[in-house]
Amino acid sequence: MREYITVGKVLCPWGVKGQVKVEPLTDDINRFRKLKSVLVEENGALKSFGIESVIFLKKRFVVLKFQGIDSVESAESFRGKYLMIHRKDAVKLPEGHYFICDIIGMDVYNEEDGTFLGKIRDVLKTGANDVYVVALQDGKELLLPAIKEVVKDIRLEENKMVVKLMEGMV
Protein backbone atom coordinates (compact mmCIF):
# COMPACT_ATOMS: atom_id res chain seq x y z
CA MET A 1 0.00 0.00 0.00
CA ARG A 2 1.11 3.49 -0.73
CA GLU A 3 2.22 5.68 2.16
CA TYR A 4 0.54 8.77 0.69
CA ILE A 5 -2.98 9.27 -0.67
CA THR A 6 -3.73 11.70 -3.49
CA VAL A 7 -6.70 13.95 -2.64
CA GLY A 8 -6.63 16.49 -5.46
CA LYS A 9 -5.02 17.88 -8.59
CA VAL A 10 -4.23 21.57 -9.04
CA LEU A 11 -5.83 22.83 -12.24
CA CYS A 12 -4.72 26.47 -12.32
CA PRO A 13 -4.21 29.64 -10.29
CA TRP A 14 -7.44 31.29 -9.13
CA GLY A 15 -7.75 34.96 -8.28
CA VAL A 16 -4.83 37.31 -7.64
CA LYS A 17 -3.80 36.36 -4.08
CA GLY A 18 -2.06 33.05 -4.80
CA GLN A 19 -5.02 30.68 -4.57
CA VAL A 20 -5.28 27.56 -6.74
CA LYS A 21 -8.30 25.80 -8.21
CA VAL A 22 -8.27 22.09 -7.33
CA GLU A 23 -10.09 19.10 -8.79
CA PRO A 24 -10.93 16.87 -5.79
CA LEU A 25 -9.90 13.23 -6.20
CA THR A 26 -11.90 12.08 -3.21
CA ASP A 27 -15.52 11.01 -2.75
CA ASP A 28 -16.03 13.53 0.05
CA ILE A 29 -15.20 17.06 -1.12
CA ASN A 30 -15.88 18.33 2.41
CA ARG A 31 -12.73 16.56 3.64
CA PHE A 32 -10.85 19.68 2.40
CA ARG A 33 -12.42 21.66 5.28
CA LYS A 34 -10.46 19.56 7.77
CA LEU A 35 -7.09 19.60 6.00
CA LYS A 36 -4.40 21.60 7.75
CA SER A 37 -1.74 20.91 5.11
CA VAL A 38 -1.01 18.93 1.96
CA LEU A 39 2.11 17.45 0.42
CA VAL A 40 3.26 18.42 -3.08
CA GLU A 41 6.13 16.86 -5.00
CA GLU A 42 8.86 19.36 -5.81
CA ASN A 43 12.19 18.36 -7.36
CA GLY A 44 11.61 14.70 -6.49
CA ALA A 45 10.80 15.35 -2.82
CA LEU A 46 7.54 15.93 -0.98
CA LYS A 47 7.09 19.39 0.50
CA SER A 48 4.38 20.33 2.99
CA PHE A 49 2.20 23.40 2.43
CA GLY A 50 -0.12 24.72 5.13
CA ILE A 51 -3.65 25.58 4.06
CA GLU A 52 -4.82 29.09 4.88
CA SER A 53 -8.32 28.97 3.42
CA VAL A 54 -10.76 26.76 1.52
CA ILE A 55 -13.54 27.86 -0.86
CA PHE A 56 -15.96 25.49 -2.61
CA LEU A 57 -17.01 26.19 -6.21
CA LYS A 58 -20.36 24.67 -7.27
CA LYS A 59 -19.66 21.51 -5.22
CA ARG A 60 -17.24 20.36 -7.96
CA PHE A 61 -14.03 22.24 -7.29
CA VAL A 62 -12.08 23.59 -4.34
CA VAL A 63 -10.03 26.76 -4.15
CA LEU A 64 -7.12 26.52 -1.72
CA LYS A 65 -4.85 29.25 -0.39
CA PHE A 66 -1.48 27.93 0.73
CA GLN A 67 0.53 29.70 3.41
CA GLY A 68 3.39 31.69 1.87
CA ILE A 69 1.96 31.55 -1.66
CA ASP A 70 0.74 35.10 -2.24
CA SER A 71 0.84 35.77 -5.98
CA VAL A 72 -0.51 34.39 -9.24
CA GLU A 73 3.07 33.69 -10.32
CA SER A 74 3.76 31.61 -7.21
CA ALA A 75 0.46 29.76 -7.59
CA GLU A 76 1.28 28.97 -11.23
CA SER A 77 4.10 26.65 -10.10
CA PHE A 78 1.42 24.30 -8.66
CA ARG A 79 -0.40 23.84 -12.00
CA GLY A 80 -0.88 20.13 -12.77
CA LYS A 81 0.58 18.95 -9.45
CA TYR A 82 -1.12 16.42 -7.21
CA LEU A 83 -1.99 17.15 -3.58
CA MET A 84 -1.29 14.31 -1.19
CA ILE A 85 -1.76 13.50 2.46
CA HIS A 86 -0.14 10.87 4.65
CA ARG A 87 -2.19 7.66 4.86
CA LYS A 88 -2.53 8.08 8.65
CA ASP A 89 -4.36 11.38 8.01
CA ALA A 90 -6.79 9.86 5.50
CA VAL A 91 -10.47 9.43 6.29
CA LYS A 92 -11.34 6.03 7.66
CA LEU A 93 -13.21 3.98 5.07
CA PRO A 94 -16.08 1.67 5.91
CA GLU A 95 -15.56 -2.08 5.62
CA GLY A 96 -15.42 -3.18 1.98
CA HIS A 97 -14.39 0.25 0.65
CA TYR A 98 -10.92 1.00 -0.72
CA PHE A 99 -8.84 3.94 -1.88
CA ILE A 100 -8.55 4.11 -5.66
CA CYS A 101 -4.77 4.37 -5.36
CA ASP A 102 -4.79 0.93 -3.65
CA ILE A 103 -6.95 -0.60 -6.39
CA ILE A 104 -4.90 0.66 -9.36
CA GLY A 105 -2.10 -1.78 -10.13
CA MET A 106 -3.83 -4.69 -8.42
CA ASP A 107 -3.49 -8.16 -9.99
CA VAL A 108 -6.83 -9.59 -11.13
CA TYR A 109 -7.58 -13.33 -11.09
CA ASN A 110 -10.52 -15.36 -12.38
CA GLU A 111 -12.41 -17.02 -9.51
CA GLU A 112 -13.45 -19.98 -11.65
CA ASP A 113 -10.01 -21.32 -12.62
CA GLY A 114 -7.56 -19.04 -10.77
CA THR A 115 -5.98 -17.71 -13.97
CA PHE A 116 -4.28 -14.33 -13.99
CA LEU A 117 -6.30 -11.90 -16.12
CA GLY A 118 -4.27 -8.71 -15.89
CA LYS A 119 -3.72 -5.55 -13.82
CA ILE A 120 -6.13 -2.77 -12.95
CA ARG A 121 -5.05 0.24 -14.99
CA ASP A 122 -7.76 2.74 -14.04
CA VAL A 123 -10.97 3.23 -12.07
CA LEU A 124 -13.87 4.94 -13.83
CA LYS A 125 -16.39 6.80 -11.67
CA THR A 126 -19.93 6.30 -12.94
CA GLY A 127 -23.22 7.25 -11.37
CA ALA A 128 -24.17 3.79 -10.18
CA ASN A 129 -20.86 2.08 -9.36
CA ASP A 130 -17.18 2.32 -10.16
CA VAL A 131 -15.79 0.39 -13.13
CA TYR A 132 -12.35 -1.20 -13.00
CA VAL A 133 -10.34 -1.05 -16.23
CA VAL A 134 -8.19 -4.18 -16.43
CA ALA A 135 -5.25 -4.27 -18.86
CA LEU A 136 -5.30 -7.85 -20.12
CA GLN A 137 -2.18 -9.80 -21.06
CA ASP A 138 -3.07 -9.69 -24.77
CA GLY A 139 -3.10 -5.88 -24.75
CA LYS A 140 -6.89 -5.56 -24.67
CA GLU A 141 -9.00 -4.07 -21.87
CA LEU A 142 -11.68 -5.60 -19.71
CA LEU A 143 -14.23 -3.41 -17.95
CA LEU A 144 -15.39 -4.82 -14.62
CA PRO A 145 -18.25 -3.26 -12.67
CA ALA A 146 -17.27 -2.88 -9.02
CA ILE A 147 -20.24 -4.84 -7.71
CA LYS A 148 -20.44 -7.80 -5.32
CA GLU A 149 -21.61 -10.15 -8.08
CA VAL A 150 -18.33 -9.55 -9.97
CA VAL A 151 -15.69 -8.58 -7.38
CA LYS A 152 -15.52 -11.56 -5.04
CA ASP A 153 -12.42 -10.81 -2.97
CA ILE A 154 -9.91 -7.99 -2.50
CA ARG A 155 -6.69 -8.69 -0.62
CA LEU A 156 -4.78 -5.43 -0.26
CA GLU A 157 -1.79 -7.03 1.45
CA GLU A 158 -1.41 -9.45 -1.49
CA ASN A 159 -2.26 -6.83 -4.15
CA LYS A 160 -4.86 -9.30 -5.42
CA MET A 161 -8.45 -9.13 -6.64
CA VAL A 162 -10.54 -12.20 -7.42
CA VAL A 163 -13.43 -11.73 -9.84
CA LYS A 164 -16.27 -13.76 -11.26
CA LEU A 165 -16.61 -13.11 -14.96
CA MET A 166 -20.20 -12.86 -16.09
CA GLU A 167 -21.35 -14.12 -19.47
CA GLY A 168 -20.32 -11.74 -22.25
CA MET A 169 -17.56 -9.95 -20.33
CA VAL A 170 -14.72 -11.49 -22.34
- Domain 100-163: homologous superfamily in CATH: PRC-barrel domain (2.30.30.240)
Is pTM beyond 0.75? Reply is: no
pLDDT tens digits for 78-98? 999 999 999 888 888 888 888
What local confidence, expressed as pLDDT, does residue 163 receive? 96
pLDDT value, residue 11: 97
pLDDT (0 to 100) of residue 1: 62
The verdict on domain 4-89 having CATH code 2.40.30.60 is yes
With a cut of 70, list the residues of the chain below it in pLDDT.
1, 170
Check residue 66 and give its pLDDT.
Answer: 97
- Which residue ranges does the chain devote to CATH 2.30.30.240? 100-163
pLDDT for 72: 95
> Can you tell me the distance from the alpha carbon of 133 to that of 22, in angstroms, rounded to the nearest whole number?
25
Domain with CATH 2.40.30.60 in the chain: 4-89
